[in-house]
Amino acid sequence: MTRFSKFLTMVAAVGSVAFLAGAASANMVTNPGFETGDFTGWSSYGTWYVSSNPNDVHSGTYGAVNSLTVSSGTTSTTYSGLYQNITDTSAAGEAFNASVWISTAATNGYSEAYLQVQFGGLSNGNPVTLAQDVSTMITASNQPFTLVSLNNIVAPAGTLGMQIQGVVEGIGGLNATSSNTGYTRFDDFSLTPVPEPATIALVAIGFAGLALVSRRRRA
């Protein structure tokens, strides 16, 4: 084999491995880090804004911030959410990993934040939630950016789409003695399919091919 042929073979092997690895880990979330400078691709309830303040950003230039006030003497629970719906009619039976970076400021113990993923379908033609997964809660005041994740969550039969959501919950029943405003930052959402064993095997074969080409080249 000529040196140029060896080079082409190596390029092809590298390209195959890169393509397979990329396909297995593609982020399904649109505008996951809010780098458009706005909420393109997202919907929300409650008070949210995009910030370029470095304290509000995990990576890149922008991050999403929620402002939630727990009024004096409240005993009810208040929710704010930032969510994105993702259509995937072939998701049923597949496993997914989801994550987001969350940071808090001045929550004063009156709110908590978490990551939520819902799988949706239809029942008698009407949208229904088939399953819901919720991450661990971020409850500390002035919490640095922390990775919160849900791993190997499986879409149930009948799944036609998913919703990934960052949630801030103003905890009821605490009888806040004064109005307390907490700020919660979210950045770098991710929802990716877990590679199937066959895909992992193909990637392994690709790397094995690289090793073989390398040995032949040294020979």
Provide the pLDDT confidence category of residue 75 given band limits of 50, 70 and 90: confident
How many CA atoms does the CB half-sphere of 142 hold within 13 Å? 2
pLDDT in tens, 181-200: 889 999 999 999 999 764 44
CA distance 45 to 65: 12
pLDDT in tens, 78-129: 899 999 999 999 999 999 999 999 999 876 667 899 999 999 999 989 999 9
Q: Which of 50, 106, 44 is nearest to 79 (CA)?
A: 44
CATH number listed for the domain at residues 27-194: 2.60.120.260
SS3 70: strand
Q: What would you report as the CA-atom Rg of the chain, rounded to the nearest whole angstrom? A: 22
For residue 157 the two structure tokens come to 């039969």
Listed by start position, the domains of the chain span: 1-25+198-219, 27-194
pTM of this prediction exceeds 0.85: no
